[in-house]
Chains A and B, each alone.
Chain A
Amino acid sequence: MNTVLNVEHLKVRFNSREVIADFCLEIQRGRIYAIVGPNGSGKTTLLRAISRNVRASAGCIYLNGKSIFRMSSKNVARQMAVLSQLHNGMTDATVRELVAYGRFAHREWWQSKTAEDEEIISWSLARTNLSGYDDRRLNTLSGGERQRVWIAMAIAQKPQILLLDEPTTFLDIAHQIETLELIAGLNREEGITILMVLHDINHAAHYADELIVMKNGRLFSRGLPGAVITPDMMREVFGVEADIFPDPETGKPIVRPRKVAK
């Protein structure tokens, strides 16, 4: 079974406005997917529908062949983790306490943490370069460190697929690259399938195996970065005239916007 996530004829409606219209998507195990599109194209809504944070008005989403609408919250969480853009509260919690919440879905309400849980928490911390941060309070960490804490919490769920909504927002360029490298490493070394919304098309081209381009709530095109990123696509979807060069090292496309398309 190589399909981990399958979105079938998904529709999302806010009042009478259709934000996602008859969307189909198949996500193969072990790959990195980036969803790109202009503001209002429905990319965040698509991710939020898959993570059950907005209600689908029609269609279905299958996780490992089972409808997520018929699965328990914990069962979904054992297979899929989601990193949202905003986090609240509990800023006086320690890093280890927070990462431990990643194990919530793996035990029943009467059980306490097992040695295996502790081991996975330590592994998550090590994997996100947070070893030694165990007792640090969240409110003493920088933005980049905090983002690593949330990623550590997500991978402590031991998911097969990780959904991320613009994981680089609010970060400076060094922390953006650090975060994307970390995500790529998790995919490469741990085999976690990645589905993320990215704003920066160059980041998407560089890190993703496959791009999903959205426009007006519909799939515009999908495929390898080299095939999808074209001057026509940049004009039609993003409304910019752009030059596209191959990266001398990787051969992947680099987008250089020139001006707003008329």
Chain B
Amino acid sequence: MHTEAYIRHFTTQKPGLKNRSGWKYFTLFIFAMLVVLAFLLGNYLGTVKIGIPDIIRVIFNDDGSPERSIIWDIRLPRLIVAALVGINLALSGAILQGVMSNPLADPTIIGVSAGAGLAGIIILILFPQHQLMVPMAAFVGAMGAAVLIYILAWKGGIQPLRIILAGVAVAAFLGAGISALMVLFSDRVHGAILFMNGSLSARSWPDVFTILPYSVLGAVIAVFMAERLNILVLGDDTARSLGLNVEATRMGLTAVAALLAASAVSVVGLLGFVGLIIPHATRLLLGTNHRVLFPGAMLLGAAVVMLSDTFARTAFSPTEIPVGIVMAILGVPFFLYLLRR
């Protein structure tokens, strides 16, 4: 039933501009420009505004100026974390929507958010003195939940629908745990709010290096697995006939999607919106071929998270709002526009 909805959704698309291949590369170029713009804007905006020539100068040489330390120690690493988080979540969502043949699939359905959320909350609320453990705990929680869902959905093979149902059940179960902790320890909830909504506040170089290996892995997968995912999307029977090892491909890609999302949420907390809507928006603009969809989603994800975080950081300065809230407020209307147009 999900598969049918997926097919219907894409068959009702009118052939038009977006079906021309020149248009696809132009759109990818626009996305890349958006990344550059977001990067420059993120470095420029803040309590101290730093002009573009200065940004470039201080990135490439350490002249000991205050601008250098604002850019190098604060804005630049935070922007890189934002970009990598955007890449990982968007790619994870793009992979899962293909693997599950379901337009509503996102990292949430393989339990990554709920697993990371519960593990993070346990540390933040029960052991606040071990706050530094949050990323590692969130990563373990995310992967633990993903593996649990995979095991629960396993029955002589994996059916996307069973994963989705098992995912909903496990997420509800873990969500209940999160709610219970927040009610029982309501006096300590404040420290968990940023984590629960996703925040890039005070992220720096160590976070860059925590998440970077996964982004690199994701990019490699995006290049080499795109054709396999295209074939998998044709349906299990057809994919098998064409010589694809359906089970191994589905399991491998699901594992990669879980790692990508887990690495992102372990660093910035629960950022729900990117993994669902960025790949979807990219598909509406670029079509379903994963060779184009993957790079498109990565670029758009990076640009949107960087822009949203810059907005979150500067709009109500000195108060920072969680970036997840910004993305929901700015992104959802745009997404609805794409859907309705």
Q: Which residues of A contact B (CB under 8 A)?
A: 48, 51-53, 55, 72-78, 80-84, 86-93, 97-98, 101-102, 104-105, 109, 137, 139-140, 150, 153-154, 157, 163
Contact = CB atoms under 8 A, between A and B. Distances in A.
Interface of B: 3, 6-7, 10-11, 13, 15, 19, 101, 156, 224, 227, 230-231, 233-238, 240-246, 287-289
Contacts of A72: 245
A140 B246 CA distance: 28
Contact of B242 (A53, A75, A77, A92): A77
> What are the nearest 8 A-B pairs in CB distance?
A77-B243, A105-B243, A82-B241, A84-B237, A89-B233, A74-B243, A88-B235, A73-B245
Nearest to B9: A91
B240 A92 contact: no
Contact residues of A: prevailing secondary structure: mixed
Contacts of A76: 243
Given A77-B243, A78-B243, A90-B288, A53 B235 contact: no
A139 B246 CA distance: 25
A73 B249 CA distance: 12
B278 to A, nearest CB: 19
Nearest to A163: B241
Contact residues of B: prevailing secondary structure: helix
B19 A92 contact: yes
Contacts, number: 107
Given A88-B3, A90-B288, A137-B15, A81 B233 contact: no
Contacts of A102: 242
Contact of B288 (A87, A93, A163): A93
Contacts of B233: 88-90
Interface centre among A84, A97, A153 (most CB of B within 10 A): A84
A53 to B, nearest CB: 5
A97 B237 contact: no
B224 A97 contact: no
Contacts of B243: 73-78, 104-105, 157
Nearest to B241: A82
17 contacts: A55-B156, A73-B240, A77-B242, A80-B241, A86-B237, A88-B6, A88-B235, A89-B101, A89-B234, A89-B235, A104-B242, A104-B243, A104-B244, A139-B13, A157-B242, A157-B243, A163-B241
